[in-house]
Structure 1
Amino acid sequence: MRSVFAFLLLLFVLIAGRPAAQASKTPRAYYQLQVFYYTTAQQEQQLDDYLQQALVPALHRLKLQQIGVFKALENDTATEKKIYVLVPFRELQQWTQLDAHLQSDRSYLQAATGYHNSANKAGIYNRIETTFLKSFSMAPALQVPQLEGPKEQRIYELRSYESSSEKRFRSKVKMFNEGGEIGIFKRLGFNAVFYGEVLAGKRMPNLMYLTTHANMEARSQNWKNFGKDSTWKQLNAQMEYKENVSHIDVTFLKATPYSDL
């Protein structure tokens, strides 16, 4: 009887533990973050038309959801303005096959006629900058912000953390994952959309993440709470995480009306 009981107990433990094991193995997503640089109001309108009427609907037809389209808050005063487009992929193959799918989509090609046939020297954009990322192990999937209130008032904060070596970069990624920095952000209500390791981009080694706040006042309060958080202070004091970031860029964004996020 004892052997039968032991077998049944072992079987129960294996079955009971299976969902948790599967939940911890969520595939890590990939993210393409493109920045369209432009100068004039006409370019902005043309880009909005292309993104809203051609690209985003085509991505949706490919079952790519949660597309983020944002404009930099500094656009009002900057000479060269920016539109950010965030596309999440469940698998790397979805990214490698994206252009082929778009070129075979008749609805996309028709809607994008003005975009593709724009003037050579005064085109719809000045240039495009592309960054390709892989999600963190402890934040494997993109998250839609869980915020109440008007979407147009939200502040999206994109942060880029460069490191002076690959070793220091891995230290900072570990700080977010195993160190628990992701958990601190979650507990304090930062509403992170994604955390990602930059696989290819203009600045490397580098990681980026995007958080969301109800407004600028809420954003400032969230960071004040973060700075005085006891758990963060203990984490930041650990020697293994010292001097693992050499440069930080912060960009404030606002979502376009046609953004999924």
Structure 2
Amino acid sequence: MRKLMYVLLLFWAISVNAQNNRQFYLIKLYHFATHTQQKATEDFLQKAWLPAVHKKGIKQVGVFTPVGNDTATKKKIYLFIPLVSLNDVYRLDDALLKDPQYLSAGATYIQAAHDQPAYSRIETFVLRAFSDMPHMAKPVLSGPVEQRIYELRSYEGATEKLYRKKVDMFNQGGEIKLFKQLAFNAVFYGEVLAGSRMPNLMYMTSFDNMDERDKHWKIFFDHPEWKRLSALPEYQHTVSKVDIILLNPTSYSDL
């Protein structure tokens, strides 16, 4: 009996520890009106910001541009930052502002005049990792870097209750397991704690190229487990809006 109680307590402790060790993610979306703005921000990220956050122990930062960004009227950059705790959201900026090397290398961006900013606006999203994938993962891809596709999906729910059911579908329902089984190379799954549109979850998968991306999704939607899961009554109407953003990694992205 004592052994059984010990085993049960051990499993409970492991479960609680896993819940407490879930990472937090910061996604920053830069909007640009011109190529000049985008170049200024990219120079800053590559030469000042990334080296500084690497020194702080954050090694797996993703820097992405939307597919077709070069010819788009509204240009963007997506920045993905994994964090250990929610406090790191503000601690990181505080630490960088005390780093003289960062301040010197990023002076052009940091000291930009009011009428010559390096971006139009920045959107920020704070996320907490799903319980079934508590830490981000660097994908193993073999295709040329410039052809790689990172797919960021945003699912909004009509109500908090329906949103929670969709999160449950990923975790307890087994959607994450199916993505893993089909080699979607997920980078993260996260609940949006703060963002411009709520309630909301986001996740990112990755592929060697666009053809591989299309093949994987066809296999997914045709899979009997997905058909079974998506037909369950408890998971109906859990998503009211879907945004699909196809991204390419920059040459200096860690991912």
| TM-score over 0.5 for the pair | yes
1:220 is displaced (CA, Å) by 0.3
Matching residue's letter, 1:68: G
> Matches of 1:19 and 1:64 in 2, distance apart?
30
Output the TM-score relative to the length of structure 2: 0.93
Match status 1:195 vs 2:223: no
2:14 to 19, 22, 38: 22
Write out per-residue CA displacement over residues 207-249 of structure 1, whole angstroms, 9 at most, x where no aligned residue: 0001001100000000000001011111101000000000000
Matching residue's letter, 1:242: Q
> Matches of 1:229 and 1:25 in 2, distance apart?
33
Match status 1:258 vs 2:252: yes
| Partner SS for 1:37 | strand
> Matches of 2:44 and 2:203 in 1, distance apart?
26
Matching residue's letter, 2:31: Y
2:243 to 225, 243, 249: 249
> Matches of 2:196 and 2:23 in 1, distance apart?
20
> Matches of 1:167 and 1:181 in 2, distance apart?
18
Q: What is the aligned partner in structure 2 of residue 183 from structure 1?
A: 177
> Matches of 1:70 and 1:186 in 2, distance apart?
23
**Structure 1 outlier segments of 4+, above 6 Å:** none
Write out per-residue CA displacement over residues 8-65 of structure 1, whole angstroms, 9 at most, x where no aligned residue: xx29x95799589637833111000001111222222211110011111111111112
Q: CA RMSD, aligned part only?
A: 1.9
Q: What is the aligned partner in structure 2 of residue 3 from structure 1?
A: none
Matching residue's letter, 1:105: D
Matching residue's letter, 1:64: I
Match status 1:140 vs 2:134: yes
Match status 1:111 vs 2:97: no
Matching residue's letter, 1:69: V
The 1:16–1:247 alpha-carbon spacing in structure 2 relative to 1, beyond 3 Å, is: closer
2:72 to 78, 92, 95: 78
> Matches of 1:23 and 1:45 in 2, distance apart?
45
Gaps of 5+ in 2: none
| Partner SS for 1:25 | helix
Count of aligned pairs: 253
Output the TM-score relative to the length of structure 1: 0.91
Write out per-residue CA displacement over residues 93-120 of structure 1, whole angstroms, 9 at most, x where no aligned residue: 2223112101101111111100012231
Identity %, equivalent residues: 46
Question: After alignment, is 221-230 or 38-47 more displaced?
Answer: 38-47
Bigger Rg over Cα: 1
Listed as ranges, the matches of 1:34-113 within 5 Å are 34-113=28-107
Matching residue's letter, 1:52: Q
Check the 8 A contact 2:151/2:205 in 1, yes or no: yes
